[in-house]
Structure 1
Amino acid sequence: MACLVGLLATVGRTRTERPVQAAVGRPAAGVEPHWQLFLDDHVIERSTGFRRVVHPPRPRGVVLEPDQPWETQGLSIMHVGRRRDGKFECYYRVHGERVLSDTHAYAVSDDGIHWTKPDLGLVPAPGGGKSNLLPCGAPFDVGFLGTSPDPGKRYLLGLGDHPRGFKMEMFFARELPDWQNDPKWKDKLTRAGTKPSYKLGLNFWDQATREWVFMRQSPNPPPTRCIARWSTKDLKNWEVRSVLYPDAHDSSDPRSFDEAYGMHAMVTEGLVLGFIEWFKGDQTRPDLAVLERELIGRVHMKGPMETRIAVSRDGGFTWDRTVSREAWIPHGSQPNSYDRLVVMYASPVRNGDEDWIYATVIDGDHASGMGYGRPGRSRGALYTQKHNRYVSLQAGNTAQVLITKPIRVTGRTLQLNVDGSRGEVKVGVGIDKPITIFDTVGHLPSYMVRDRQNRTHLEPGFQVGQCRAIHANSIEHTVEWKDSDLQVLQGKTVRLYIMVRDANVFGFRFK
């Protein structure tokens, strides 16, 4: 015991504790404070006894069908948002023999489930007549979801008259055009620059490197597909570097070979959240090499695709894959499942206390129709989940105490995203203090809440037993103590001691 105490004390003396920032970057004026989500261990000192649980959203089925004459091969949802009038709007890519590669169309909905495709009169239908086709490419929200510092650069749109239909010229807009009522929509756009491929866009602005960033598949990276960070400072000259590969923990079994096929990224709660298109390919078919073979190998191999999530806190250069070892949105189990391939191109939309996730689903394996099976149909599907509930830390019927790293109290209240409806959660707040043990000075806040001499790091009035028990299922539950107010600790550096029994905690914030 004495040896253990001495070791811990030595570790405490040699370690410099720095408070974790309450957010990566400060929220803009009028924007809600960031949450600390438990997607990784960024803010966690100790989570002994907990399980980190990935929570798949609830599938609501197909909500957008390819039902127009020019949508013969399906559609891919690229952006869903809310208009000023409260309606949902959807931009989707059209796939069909009669349209060019970068053709997009428009749909609207009152409830986000039932969609109509209005006649816009902007682009003639193939063969003539009215259509819901658009003269632009898919929009990217680089303001609210991408930290653009200029409100006039909230959205990015692609335009152009390339012979193959590619929209290579980029334009910024404060608001997306009102396609049905504003014939002068083009006058409100500001020219931004150009991109080398119609498949590129912008996901976010990286203030640290002062460049725009887009995450997608890396070009020809042997021996497997991986994710690249595409960046540009001037919206003309681009740089690309591979940043996320499958690793030794992923499957290299040729019957189910793991590949990071692509990624959609957005900035949320002070971090970059990546939705990975995770492909599980069958490399046992020798005839597939006859169809096509590039540096990345058998590009047309058969297999399903699911969506996984990863986290970056440095602008997309490095990625924490703690929660990407399993599916967040799993693919269908059967070869002809409607969701055999699940791909996200659009960021979630907040709807009340839920996130609504619109994904593109295909009812067949990757490359179906190219040497085996019928071609799959791509459609738009909806998934729903309570806000920010991607991942939780879960404790069973034995109470466990989660201890955070030092963090500065930046608000008057503490809120939890928590489901304590089958158990309980309590929170203590402590300030690190050295404790003398056997004439040894120990800095041991991470190893004890109360020692044998009844000493504690918890502040008077903020001990776990003085917290009102939380039994709620709430995305923003305000923590209360019986006789104390958190305002007295505002500006101080503290640790949170979160006691959890039969409950899930998803994150916290000061507000």
Structure 2
Amino acid sequence: MLVPHMIPERSFWLIVASIVVFSRFSLGAEYIGGAKQLFIDDRIIDSLGGAQRVFKQAVKTQPLVSASTGWETKRSLAYPTVRREAMNSWKMWYRAASPMGERIICYATSTDGITWTKPNLGIYPHHGGNNNIVLIGKETFLDTPSIFREDDGYYLYCIEGDVRYVVYHSSDGIHDWKRAPRGLHADHARIIQSGTNAPAPHNFDICLAVFDPYRDDYIFHFKVAHREQLFGPNDWQRKFCQHRYSGSLATIQDMPFPRVTPRHELADREDESVEPGTLRAENYGLGMYPQEDGSVIGFSWLFSIDGHNGPVSKGGDGTSDGFWHYGPVNVMLVYTRDINGPWQRPTRTPILPRGPVGSWDSGMVHTANAPTEVPKAETAGAATDEIWLHYVGANHVHNRNPSEGERDHQIGIAKWRMDGFAALEDTDGTEDTVITKAVVYRGNQLTLNADVKANGYIRVKLIRVGDGTDLKGWSDAVSGNRQNHVVRWNGEDHIGNSEGEEVVLEIRIKNAALYSLNFTTDAAPPDRDESKR
């Protein structure tokens, strides 16, 4: 048995590397092709060798969009969906409510994703026609819009009234929104409700969707309810269902959907430690971010229930069971390697936490349906491209008023560097050797997204599985803070002839943070359809 303290650290990890190389041949290899590999989990990692996986909380902006108009109530702003359609061309749709109680979808534009303008569209008469309303629902309940662009215009997926999930179409995303004649997978929704003994259709109030540009399909995630007895006979628990769909949203309403089993792995007893006084933790909603390797990163709205109003037979609307839950909402990082498989929680610390007491987002944070990838040239001096996730912050917890003032919802941005949710880091200033599992790649170059500090470096070695051949020796030192460091050996960036073979990577890290690696062909980006994203 190897005991680390009995031998020098570097020798110990070299011995481990040798064992890994010769043992992985019989265990099979991970095929990663030319897909970028983030380090949220250990999919391709065999040993961290002293390095640490460090999760990065978002850098938050101040609020950018507020209910500053006469046709939006402060407490109603929610569920933005944001599109960067070209340089200097951003569009946002979000839900609001008028002082008369109408649920409305509003529209805003921006040249940079930060400063937003609410155009006077004149479509509806509110405020003398000077408003940015693009849609008032046919029913009293209209919620959680997700907007997509296809060849024939824009599609809006949302919840509306008892029809539940519906699709609207507009040629320009502003005028003449027309609803499909039949509710989207309405029959499916009833099956789910019946199968989970939901108290009323009222509880289907969150549905979000994203377009996956790598698989050219849509992913739907929607909330369902299940009877629970923890707080009383009428208590209910939030669960979720999800599925993929390939095709146009123009015809999705006519497609039969498979029965999907309600799930709840996005919240468990361990999550009750996120907020003090939590009685039960639940997933309230989920933003999603599909990845090139087939995985999906998620932003789970963790609802930490710390109170309730007790068992009530009927609510004020005569349809719900009137059982209300109270508590804060934080956003947790989750991921799945297969949308039909389980979601994993790599950290129990919020990736987007609610703000401190008295701040604009001190009570709840809810994300957009999907983040936006922003080129470095359009950021304010960032070292890499960035990931921007617009989110709604509330100054109150769910179903409770703030200690001072009125309930207020505003929209800001949570930002990360590209691939920046987690990094493999040397945290003590000494060299660490990360060892991967056996992988099979496609390409002739290796690029790294890394931030290497002064006096630091990253070096890479490739070893053929089976015979242990060192294919290139240690690479030149990678230095600096860049998104696409091209790894070189004696100045040469070509890996060699090991494409398609099983190899193990040894990665030496000192005073550096490694966010992702990617095998590429002459650093060519992958082809993908970004138009619907």
**What's the TM-score bracket when you normalise by the shorter of the two chains?**
0.7 to 0.9
Aligned residue in 2 for 1:415: 447
List per-residue Cα deviations over 1:143-197 (Å, max 9, x = no partner).
8xxxxxxx6599642489x7x597843257xxx74356xx67869x999945455
Contact 2:146 2:157 in 1 (8 A): no
Amino acid at match of 2:156: L
Among 398, 416, 422, the alignment partner of 1:385 is: 416
Aligned residue in 2 for 1:430: 463
Among 94, 113, 119, the alignment partner of 2:96 is: 94
Q: CA deviation at 1:313?
A: 0.9
1:257-268 equivalences in 2 (<5 Å): 257=279, 258-268=281-291
List per-residue Cα deviations over 1:427-485 (Å, max 9, x = no partner).
11111135xxxxxxxxxxxxxxxxxxxxx6422xx222xx1111211122111111652
SS at match of 1:249: helix
Among 386, 394, 408, the alignment partner of 2:425 is: 394
Among 488, 502, 505, the alignment partner of 2:511 is: 502
Amino acid at match of 2:392: T
Q: Structure 1 stretch 373-382 or stretch 419-428: which is displaced more? A: 373-382
Shift of the 154–394 alpha-carbon distance from structure 1 to 2, 3 Å rule, reads: farther
Shift of the 384–501 alpha-carbon distance from structure 1 to 2, 3 Å rule, reads: same
Paired with 1:2 and 1:42, the residues of 2 have a C-alpha distance of 24
Amino acid at match of 1:256: T
Paired with 1:80 and 1:19, the residues of 2 have a C-alpha distance of 39
1:15-414 equivalences in 2 (<5 Å): 16-22=26-32, 34-72=35-73, 73-84=75-86, 86-101=88-103, 103-125=104-126, 129-135=129-135, 140=146, 152=151, 156-158=155-157, 168-170=165-167, 177-179=171-173, 193-195=184-186, 196=189, 199-204=206-211, 213-220=219-226, 222=228, 225-231=237-243, 235=255, 237=257, 239-251=260-272, 255-257=277-279, 258-269=281-292, 270-283=294-307, 288-289=309-310, 300-323=324-347, 325-334=348-357, 337-352=360-375, 353-369=385-401, 375-396=406-427, 397-414=429-446
SS at match of 1:62: coil
Shift of the 272–472 alpha-carbon distance from structure 1 to 2, 3 Å rule, reads: same
Shift of the 177–241 alpha-carbon distance from structure 1 to 2, 3 Å rule, reads: same
Q: CA deviation at 1:19?
A: 2.4
Contact 1:420 1:470 in 2 (8 A): yes
Amino acid at match of 1:476: N
Amino acid at match of 1:468: D
Aligned residue in 2 for 1:469: 477
SS at match of 2:121: coil
Amino acid at match of 2:466: K
Contact 2:448 2:484 in 1 (8 A): yes
Q: Give the RMSD, CA atoms, in angstroms.
A: 4.0
Contact 2:156 2:168 in 1 (8 A): yes
Contact 1:226 1:244 in 2 (8 A): no
Shift of the 51–227 alpha-carbon distance from structure 1 to 2, 3 Å rule, reads: farther
Q: Structure 1 stretch 116-125 or stretch 333-342: which is displaced more? A: 333-342
Q: Structure 1 stretch 80-89 or stretch 467-476: which is displaced more? A: 80-89
Aligned residue in 1 for 2:198: none
Paired with 2:413 and 2:214, the residues of 1 have a C-alpha distance of 33
Paired with 2:507 and 2:479, the residues of 1 have a C-alpha distance of 14
Shift of the 326–2 alpha-carbon distance from structure 1 to 2, 3 Å rule, reads: closer
Structure 2 gap ranges (5+): 5-14, 137-142, 190-203, 231-235, 246-253, 376-384, 521-533
Amino acid at match of 1:303: G
Contact 1:416 1:505 in 2 (8 A): yes
Amino acid at match of 2:37: Q
Paired with 1:425 and 1:13, the residues of 2 have a C-alpha distance of 25
SS at match of 1:220: strand
TM-score by length of 1: 0.76
Paired with 2:213 and 2:373, the residues of 1 have a C-alpha distance of 23
List per-residue Cα deviations over 1:234-263 (Å, max 9, x = no partner).
645463421424335333697134332321
Amino acid at match of 2:442: T
Q: CA deviation at 1:303?
A: 2.8
Amino acid at match of 1:131: N
Shift of the 41–326 alpha-carbon distance from structure 1 to 2, 3 Å rule, reads: same
Q: CA deviation at 1:130?
A: 3.6
Paired with 1:129 and 1:275, the residues of 2 have a C-alpha distance of 37
TM-score by length of 2: 0.73
Q: CA deviation at 1:426?
A: 0.8
Structure 1 gap ranges (5+): 24-32, 144-150, 435-455
Shift of the 78–366 alpha-carbon distance from structure 1 to 2, 3 Å rule, reads: same
1:492 equivalent in alignment to 2:501: yes
Contact 2:154 2:172 in 1 (8 A): no
Paired with 1:167 and 1:135, the residues of 2 have a C-alpha distance of 16
List per-residue Cα deviations over 1:354-406 (Å, max 9, x = no partner).
11221000012221239x77652111012222111011111131211111122
Contact 1:225 1:259 in 2 (8 A): yes
Contact 1:243 1:318 in 2 (8 A): no
Amino acid at match of 2:27: E
Amino acid at match of 1:255: G
Q: CA deviation at 1:282?
A: 2.1
Q: CA deviation at 1:36?
A: 0.5
Contact 1:357 1:384 in 2 (8 A): yes
Shift of the 408–97 alpha-carbon distance from structure 1 to 2, 3 Å rule, reads: same
Paired with 1:311 and 1:403, the residues of 2 have a C-alpha distance of 22
Q: Which has the higher helix share?
A: 2
